[in-house]
Chains A and B, each alone.
Chain A
């Protein structure tokens, strides 16, 4: 076993070039990844990381350039060829059959033979070996949908290893994980590296890059702008390389000047469809001109709380008041009239209709407004003009209101939602995961907008699983655990204190 990365390259990309029509997604990319190392690739959304990885995994074909795996030139025509070459990929959105067991998912597509029994037995043995070798313990008979997200991801990694992957590509692996789960993932990745596997980590999070990678490459606008030894660089340098200018990594904000209560929640209880209590007798107020953050490990009722306030989920009991008006059990359209704007946690399924063109999404929820057409008709010209203004103001790229929303990058999709909700000039704003899967330049932008909203006297309720984000934006922090608010802290509360409260240990 080698200590530290050896010199032999696992992957060499030479002169990779890819155009989509007028978009030059990858410009003459050269990249060498040493065997047995963890190599980070960072870059803003749309910088070309995903395209490059798609070429490596056989989804796209490079117009020019060569791929060499362990020194041998290979043509990767499809994902089968990638697997055969020893490349495995863990996608950001898991590719698992939810109602299959772990074992069944791992075997899927590699059953070997017409009858299952033999394959099952050998797969079980192999799974056990992988578990022992890499510390990836997971119950092979557990059903996927009953596993926490962190475990599901482990199954994805097992799938790749089961197929003999020597090189693992992880695309934004921590976007859906709690801090503890992320820590565990990193432990696993280190073990894998020490056993000689090569890992490529695609992420926006500079802290992760610093914590786990050996080397890091930065992409910007389709070009590979720099490769550094992680030990020899800093967060500030990487951020600057990524964005092409100096970036404020800390949110700058002045003192909050809280005014009157705009949102008031009283004894709110929400049950999910199975009758499990998700929000348990919760009461709090949000005042004009302040940001109240809700910290908590994902799945402790924050999502349900937000959805109940936004009128999407019916509370079982309790009351909500918006600016003094009763707002529990009121439909979302009426809540918008009351001055509530909502940036939902799940932009793919709620905040946006991905099949719609961008301008169509720029009015979602506000489409009944007179501004967008008198009477029953839509005034497409007014809507597109309005969309173009938002695109310009929020620097949404590419600046094309006729482009299908699914074809925007995650950060730009989020900007479409943020622009739509903030530009209505609401009285209060509730936000779930404002920067999930969003790159650093866009994070800075979105954070600044949220602070501006606060300074303009709006009441803001913020839910995020990124504890850093909650701490840096909020004026007050409420900690949720098992559906209850277990405590309130000032914004300067230590990470340690909050972490213990989030785990339900200290109040």
Chain B
């Protein structure tokens, strides 16, 4: 038996190890910053202040985090069923189409809270539909889901550019985007929530989608650990042969898991399209689908972990933008490097420290 199978208490697995990983990531990021002649501590100060220092900073951080929660949950749900959905990016993009169609249709007639449930459904259905084809190909034809979902990201991008340039564009305007939604098609900001903490939201687009994201965290938790469908998904994900033995229907489970995954990715569009820009724009997803993979990985595919990981990436996004503004030597690309280091240490190298921790734990607590 190797150390991999020695059980560690939850507070080490989910508390101490991620924290040390994060510190390692920051340490190496610091080295990178130091090597280009900037002060790493200064940089860290700018990053934290830029992400959490002011009301609007926190608002932006939470806004980004909201998108990452949706895409993180999307990746996690598929992952529990043993499916690596790389296509959250494209599913979110197409989800934006669903949300925008609802907003464009209803914003003139009803207030936002009437539009919202339809928009959620629209975004979810469109996202799910985009996931359905790769799911069906995987379930029925054995086409690998990683390949097909990547391809569907490109198809989604091409399709959306076509639609925005040729169909939705406002006549006479240059920008490939829809018209701006009226307030009936917008999701209101959560400035009152910030005010409770004595913070001013300012221009930050932190909006009601955050609440939807929290509800989805809870629903995903229920789905995975409290429903029969979730049980079947986990069985399929961990042991496909045991799933066959148990009579878990492969085709149905794969397709349903991917539909849910696609729906969650699609809902990400609510945050950006209806909560921030109030119109459908080209490339509004901006990589949030891919960040979702890192968030899910780091959050161990658990909604609570995903929530924290999404917040961390929200901080890195918002704080990173501020940092490159304050320290022009640290370019956007440098921020991507730092984000990459976090993904590397907190996600990919999660098991690097585990054997050492097991040994330490056995020495101190094992007796």
B241 touches A377 (CB 8 A): no
A350 touches B242 (CB 8 A): yes
A364 touches B242 (CB 8 A): yes
B35 within 8 A of A: no
B245 touches A63 (CB 8 A): no
Stretch at the interface among A191-199, A211-219, A329-337, A496-504: A329-337
B244 touches A360 (CB 8 A): no
With a CB–CB cut-off of 8 A, which chain B residues contact A355? Answer: 238-239
Interface SS of chain A: helix, strand, loop or mixed? Answer: loop
* Contact among A19, A63, A353, A376 for B242, CB-based, below 8 A: A353
With a CB–CB cut-off of 8 A, which chain A residues contact B239? Answer: 349, 353-355
Interface SS of chain B: helix, strand, loop or mixed? Answer: helix
Bound Cα distance A21, B365 (Å)? 8
Tell me the A59-84 residues at the B interface (CB within 8 Å). 59-61, 63
Tell me the B217-275 residues at the A interface (CB within 8 Å). 222, 226-232, 234-235, 238-239, 241-242, 244-247, 249
A332 touches B246 (CB 8 A): yes
Stretch at the interface among B1-9, B147-155, B178-186, B199-207: B1-9
* Contact among A364, A372, A407 for B246, CB-based, below 8 A: A364
With a CB–CB cut-off of 8 A, which chain A residues contact B245? Answer: 310, 312, 332, 342, 344, 350-351, 364-365
- Interface readout for A10-51 with B: 1 if CB under 8 Å, 0 if not? 000000000111000000000000000000000000000010
* Contact among B5, B234, B242 for A351, CB-based, below 8 A: B242
With a CB–CB cut-off of 8 A, which chain B residues contact A342? Answer: 245
* Contact among B2, B228, B246, B367 for A376, CB-based, below 8 A: B228
Number of A-B contacts (CB under 8 A): 86
With a CB–CB cut-off of 8 A, which chain B residues contact A282? Answer: none
With a CB–CB cut-off of 8 A, which chain A residues contact B238? Answer: 353, 355-356
Bound Cα distance A335, B239 (Å)? 21
Smallest CB-CB separation from B249: which chain A residue? A331
Bound Cα distance A110, B142 (Å)? 39
B241 touches A378 (CB 8 A): no
A426 within 8 A of B: no
Bound Cα distance A297, B14 (Å)? 48
Bound Cα distance A326, B36 (Å)? 75
With a CB–CB cut-off of 8 A, which chain B residues contact A317? Answer: none
A365 touches B246 (CB 8 A): yes
Bound Cα distance A335, B366 (Å)? 46
B367 touches A19 (CB 8 A): yes
With a CB–CB cut-off of 8 A, which chain B residues contact A331? Answer: 247, 249
Bound Cα distance A331, B252 (Å)? 13
With a CB–CB cut-off of 8 A, which chain A residues contact B5? Answer: 406-407
A404 within 8 A of B: yes
B226 touches A349 (CB 8 A): no
Q: Name the distance in Å between B239's Cβ and chain A's nearest Cβ.
A: 5
Smallest CB-CB separation from A61: which chain B residue? B362
With a CB–CB cut-off of 8 A, which chain B residues contact A227? Answer: none
Q: Name the distance in Å between B126's Cβ and chain A's nearest Cβ.
A: 24
A373 within 8 A of B: yes
With a CB–CB cut-off of 8 A, which chain B residues contact A228? Answer: none
Tell me the A356-414 residues at the B interface (CB within 8 Å). 356, 360, 363-365, 367-368, 372-373, 376-378, 380, 404, 406-407
With a CB–CB cut-off of 8 A, which chain A residues contact B232? Answer: 367
Bound Cα distance A211, B157 (Å)? 71
With a CB–CB cut-off of 8 A, which chain A residues contact B7? Answer: 404, 407
A377 touches B228 (CB 8 A): yes
With a CB–CB cut-off of 8 A, which chain A residues contact B244? Answer: 312, 332, 350
A311 within 8 A of B: yes
A352 within 8 A of B: yes
With a CB–CB cut-off of 8 A, which chain A residues contact B235? Answer: 353, 356, 364
With a CB–CB cut-off of 8 A, which chain B residues contact A50? Answer: 1
Bound Cα distance A20, B8 (Å)? 12
B366 touches A367 (CB 8 A): no
Bound Cα distance A412, B228 (Å)? 25
Residues A378 and B231 in contact in the complex (CB < 8 Å), given A332-B247, A344-B245: yes
Smallest CB-CB separation from A331: which chain B residue? B247
With a CB–CB cut-off of 8 A, which chain B residues contact A365? Answer: 245-247
With a CB–CB cut-off of 8 A, which chain B residues contact A21? Answer: 365-366
A367 touches B226 (CB 8 A): no
Q: Name the distance in Å between A499's Cβ and chain B's nearest Cβ.
A: 32
Residues of B in contact with A (beta carbons under 8 Å apart) = 1-2, 5, 7, 222, 226-232, 234-235, 238-239, 241-242, 244-247, 249, 362, 365-367
Residues of A in contact with B (beta carbons under 8 Å apart) = 19-21, 50, 54, 59-61, 63, 310-312, 331-336, 342, 344, 346, 349-356, 360, 363-365, 367-368, 372-373, 376-378, 380, 404, 406-407
Q: List 21 A-B contacts (CB under 8 A).
A: A19-B366, A60-B1, A311-B247, A331-B249, A332-B245, A332-B246, A335-B247, A342-B245, A349-B241, A350-B242, A350-B244, A353-B238, A353-B242, A355-B239, A356-B235, A356-B238, A363-B231, A364-B235, A367-B246, A377-B226, A378-B226
Q: A353-B242, A363-B231, A376-B227 given; name 9 further pairs at CB < 8 Å.
A: A310-B245, A334-B247, A353-B234, A355-B239, A365-B245, A365-B247, A376-B228, A378-B228, A404-B7
